[in-house]
Structure 1
Amino acid sequence: MFGESKLNLVLVVGAVLVILIGWQFLMPVFFPTPERPPQREVTVESQTAVQETGVQQAPSESVSVDGSAAIPVLERQAAIGASDRIAVDGDRVRGSILLKGARFDDVVLKDYREQKEENSPNIVVFNPRDTEHPYFAEFGWMPEQGLVLPDSDTVWQADRRQLKSGSSVTLTWDNRQDLIFSRKISLDENFLFTTVQTVENKSNKTVNLTPYGLVVRYDTPASGLTGMFAVDSEEFVPWGMFAHGGVGVLQGAKQEFSYEDMQDIEEKKIPSDDGWIGITGKYWLSALIPDPNQAINAEFKHSYPGQRDRYQVDYRWQNPVEINPGGSKQVSNHLFVGAKEFNLLDDYEGTLGVRDLDSAVDFGLVWFLARPLYYPIDFFYRNVG
Structure 2
Amino acid sequence: MDDQNKNLILATALSFLVILVWFVLFPPPEPATTPDQAEITATEGGEIQTPSAQDTGSVGEATAAAEETLPEAAAPRVQIDTPRLTGSLSLSGGRIDELFLKDYKVSIDEGAPIVELLSPVGSDSAYYALYGWAPGTGVAGADVPGPNTPWSVEQGEVLGVDTPITLKWDNENGLTFRRMISVDENYMFSVTQSVENNTQAEVGMAPYGILARHGIGEDGDLPGLKNFFILHEGVMVMADGVLDEIDYGDVRDFDIDPNERAQAEVFQVSEGGWVGFTDHYWMTTLIPEEGATFKAAAKYDARRKIYQTETVLPTLTVAPGATEEVTTRLFAGAKEWETIREYQAEGVQKFIDSIDWGWFYFLTKPIFWLLHNINALIGNMGWSIIGLTLIIKAILFPLAFKSYVSMAKMKELQPQMEALKEAAGDDRQKMQQGMMELYKKEKVNPAAGCLPILMQIPIFFSLYKVIFVTIELRQAPWFGPFQDLSAPDPTSIMNLFGLLPFAGPQPDTLMALIFIGILPLLLGISMWLQQKLNPAPTDATQAMIFAWMPWVFMFMLGSFASGLVVYWIANNTITFTQQYLIMRSQGYKPDVFGNIKSGFKRAAKTDDK
Aligned to 1:150: 145
CA distance in 2, matches of 1:94, 1:49: 33
- Pick the aligned partner of 2:281 from 283, 286, 305: 283
Q: Give 3-state SS (helix, strand or coil) of 2:369's partner.
A: helix
CA distance in 1, matches of 2:348, 2:317: 24
Aligned 8 A contact 1:51 1:65 in 2: no
Q: After superposition, where does 1:331-370 map in structure 2 within 5 Å?
A: 331-351=326-346, 353-370=347-364
State the one-letter code of the partner of 2:282. Answer: W
Aligned to 2:251: 262
Larger CA deviation: 257-266 vs 54-63: 54-63
1:298 Cα offset (Å): 0.9
CA distance in 2, matches of 1:60, 1:165: 34
The answer to whether residue 396 in structure 2 is matched with residue 382 in structure 1 is no
The answer to whether residue 231 in structure 2 is matched with residue 241 in structure 1 is yes
Q: Which runs of 5+ in 2 are unaligned?
A: 1-43, 216-220, 256-263, 381-609
1:223 Cα offset (Å): 5.7
Aligned to 1:271: 268
Higher Rg of the two aligned structures: 2
**Which deviations, in whole Å up to 9, do the C-alpha atoms of 1:228-257 show, x marking residues without a partner?**
xx2xxxxxxxx6332x11112013200100
Aligned to 1:14: none
Aligned to 1:183: 179
Q: Which runs of 5+ in 1 are unaligned?
A: 1-47, 73-78, 231-238
1:115 Cα offset (Å): 0.4
State the one-letter code of the partner of 1:321. Answer: L
CA distance in 2, matches of 1:161, 1:71: 27
Aligned to 2:597: none
**Which deviations, in whole Å up to 9, do the C-alpha atoms of 1:28-55 show, x marking residues without a partner?**
xxxxxxxxxxxxxxxxxxxx88566642
Q: Give 3-state SS (helix, strand or coil) of 1:130's partner.
A: coil
Q: After superposition, where does 1:161-180 map in structure 2 within 5 Å?
A: 161-180=157-176
- Pick the aligned partner of 1:99 from 91, 97, 101: 91
CA distance in 1, matches of 2:192, 2:139: 24
Q: 1:181 to 1:222 in 2, by over 3 A?
A: closer
**Which deviations, in whole Å up to 9, do the C-alpha atoms of 1:13-33 show, x marking residues without a partner?**
xxxxxxxxxxxxxxxxxxxxx
1:293 Cα offset (Å): 3.1
Q: Percent identity?
A: 27
Q: Give 3-state SS (helix, strand or coil) of 2:366's partner.
A: helix
**Which deviations, in whole Å up to 9, do the C-alpha atoms of 1:282-325 show, x marking residues without a partner?**
0000000012232111111012125xx311000101x2111111
Q: 1:257 to 1:225 in 2, by over 3 A?
A: farther
CA distance in 1, matches of 2:88, 2:246: 29
**TM-score, normalised by the number of residues in structure 1:** 0.76
Q: After superposition, where does 1:100-139 map in structure 2 within 5 Å?
A: 100-139=92-131
CA distance in 2, matches of 1:366, 1:49: 49
CA distance in 1, matches of 2:207, 2:109: 43
CA distance in 2, matches of 1:49, 1:263: 22
CA distance in 2, matches of 1:223, 1:82: 28
RMSD: 2.3
Q: 1:97 to 1:261 in 2, by over 3 A?
A: same
Q: Give 3-state SS (helix, strand or coil) of 2:253's partner.
A: helix
1:376 Cα offset (Å): 1.4
State the one-letter code of the partner of 2:222. Answer: P
Query: Which structure has the highest helix share of the two?
Result: 2
State the one-letter code of the partner of 1:240. Answer: I
CA distance in 1, matches of 2:196, 2:68: 36
Q: Give 3-state SS (helix, strand or coil) of 1:262's partner.
A: helix
1:260 Cα offset (Å): 0.7
CA distance in 2, matches of 1:64, 1:383: 49
1:201 Cα offset (Å): 1.1
Q: 1:70 to 1:376 in 2, by over 3 A?
A: closer
State the one-letter code of the partner of 1:314. Answer: E
Q: 1:176 to 1:314 in 2, by over 3 A?
A: same
Q: 1:204 to 1:60 in 2, by over 3 A?
A: closer
CA distance in 2, matches of 1:50, 1:383: 55
State the one-letter code of the partner of 1:265. Answer: F
State the one-letter code of the partner of 1:221. Answer: L
Q: 1:52 to 1:246 in 2, by over 3 A?
A: farther
- Pick the aligned partner of 1:252 from 233, 238, 241: 241
CA distance in 2, matches of 1:52, 1:371: 44
Q: Give 3-state SS (helix, strand or coil) of 1:154's partner.
A: coil
Q: 1:201 to 1:168 in 2, by over 3 A?
A: same
Aligned 8 A contact 2:59 2:312 in 1: no
Q: 1:289 to 1:194 in 2, by over 3 A?
A: same
State the one-letter code of the partner of 1:343. Answer: E
State the one-letter code of the partner of 1:192. Answer: M
Q: Give 3-state SS (helix, strand or coil) of 1:343's partner.
A: helix
The answer to whether residue 193 in structure 2 is matched with residue 197 in structure 1 is yes
Number of aligned pairs? Answer: 315
Aligned 8 A contact 2:125 2:222 in 1: no
Q: 1:348 to 1:51 in 2, by over 3 A?
A: farther
Q: 1:304 to 1:225 in 2, by over 3 A?
A: farther
CA distance in 2, matches of 1:153, 1:357: 31
CA distance in 2, matches of 1:186, 1:126: 17
CA distance in 1, matches of 2:189, 2:236: 19
**TM-score, normalised by the number of residues in structure 2:** 0.49
Q: After superposition, where does 1:3-22 map in structure 2 within 5 Å?
A: none
CA distance in 2, matches of 1:65, 1:97: 19
State the one-letter code of the partner of 1:241. Answer: L
Aligned 8 A contact 2:235 2:248 in 1: yes
Q: 1:65 to 1:116 in 2, by over 3 A?
A: closer
Moved over 3 A (4+): 48-54, 56-60, 69-72, 222-226
Q: After superposition, where does 1:205-244 map in structure 2 within 5 Å?
A: 205-219=201-215, 220-222=221-223, 224=225, 226=227, 230=228, 240-242=230-232, 244=233
1:344 Cα offset (Å): 0.9
